[in-house]
Amino acid sequence: MKKEHISAWFQSLQDDICTEINNLENKNVFQEDRWEREGGGGGRSRAITGEIIEKGGVNFSAVHGKMPSKIANALGIAPNNFFATGVSIVLHPKNPMLPIIHMNVRYFETDQGDWWFGGGIDVTPHYVDINDAIFFHSFLKEKCDSYGDQWYPKFKTWADDYFFIKHRNETRGIGGIFFDRVNDKEFGSKESCFDFVMDIGNSFVPIYITLAERHKNKSYTKSNQEWQYLRRSRYVEFNLVWDRGTKFGLDTNGRTESILMSMPPRAHWVYDHQVVLGSPEDKTQNLLVKGIDWINYKEE
């Protein structure tokens, strides 16, 4: 399994996802920027401005070079030449009834033989829809289960812990799965790891297209939109304060415009905002907690 093979697959995943988003939007909504990294490698950033997706990005990168000692320390490995490739997506829909989605799949190796995969996919509804949550988590569980029963519970819990806005004491959304530094110790072989990562990458389109078809034409009010802008500000807070990928990128002179493609087009902050008891916003707020077994969730 050569690194070129992995990065080529990631690149084709980017293409496939962009094609499907263009189909959904019924036109080309992407602006592509190719960039090169000073230390080696580069990427293809694709920013979206659409009718359904108000703002978002589907980014591919494959970078290599001498690892800064700061990064080696953070990873707990000796400074080496490294290679890293991946695809990152964040979509901020216009319609508040359609959730924000994020996916990342990545591969990392050093010339000393260390290697691992990482990734995750999580959904941030402005309004939690239980049927969506059941569909999304069931889909992920099925993908995970074909590699062993242990993975969905492990990676689902990891997502609950990772996509957590500590200073708000709330999850970013309904979670999903998250995994990092996964290699043959977990999956038996590199091929099996890569198969898993490809399965997750390929899940993006059926998941988001399903959600988009369900909600893209739903009507909404000014007040729904106001709540969407508040939820987006929480998304900003998570990404800028807690997301390790964002912090790492900004701290190591990554391409800022590609890293911050995850920012929403518009966000609002209101001092000490309180939801109305019993409202749909209140219901959503109460579901932003860790440890919900979405697949078996029963509405009261």
CB of 131 to a copy of itself, least distance (A): 31
Residue among 57 and 118 whose Cβ is closer to a copy of itself: 57
Paired residues of 84 in beta bridges:
63, 108
Nearest-angstrom CA–CA distance, 246 and 31 = 21
Binding-site ranges for a copy of itself (CB under 8 A): 31, 33, 47, 49, 55, 57, 166-168, 229, 233, 236-237, 240-241, 247, 250, 253, 256-257, 259-261, 263-272
Give CA torsion, residues 225, 176, 23, 127, to 10 deg. -20
Residue among 47 and 77 whose Cβ is closer to a copy of itself: 47
Nearest-angstrom CA–CA distance, 133 and 209 = 14
> What token pair was written down for 198?
């490809």
Nearest-angstrom CA–CA distance, 250 and 164 = 20
Residue among 23 and 49 whose Cβ is closer to a copy of itself: 49
- Which one of 64, 102, 126, 215 is the catalytic residue? 102
CB of 241 to a copy of itself, least distance (A): 5
CB of 271 to a copy of itself, least distance (A): 4
CB of 264 to a copy of itself, least distance (A): 6
Which uninterrupted H or E stretch holds 231? helix 222-237
Query: What is the CA 173 to chain-centroid distance, rounded?
Result: 12
b/e 157-172 (16+ beta carbons within 10 angstroms → b): ebbbebbbbeeeebbb
Residue among 218 and 266 whose Cβ is closer to a copy of itself: 266
Q: Tell the burial category of 111 from Cβ atoms under 10 Å away from its Cβ (0-12, 13-18, 19+).
A: exposed
Residue among 139 and 229 whose Cβ is closer to a copy of itself: 229
Residues in contact with 55: Cβ distance below 8 Å, sequence separation at least 6, in sequence order = 47, 48, 49, 92, 263, 264, 265
CB of 59 to a copy of itself, least distance (A): 11
Nearest-angstrom CA–CA distance, 135 and 144 = 14
Residue among 66 and 168 whose Cβ is closer to a copy of itself: 168
Rounded alpha-carbon distances, angstroms, from residue 292 to 23, 155, 169, 211: 34, 14, 15, 20
Whether 102 sits among the annotated catalytic residues: the reply is yes
CB of 124 to a copy of itself, least distance (A): 16
User: Would you please indicate which residues are annotated as catalytic (active-site) residues?
Assistant: 102
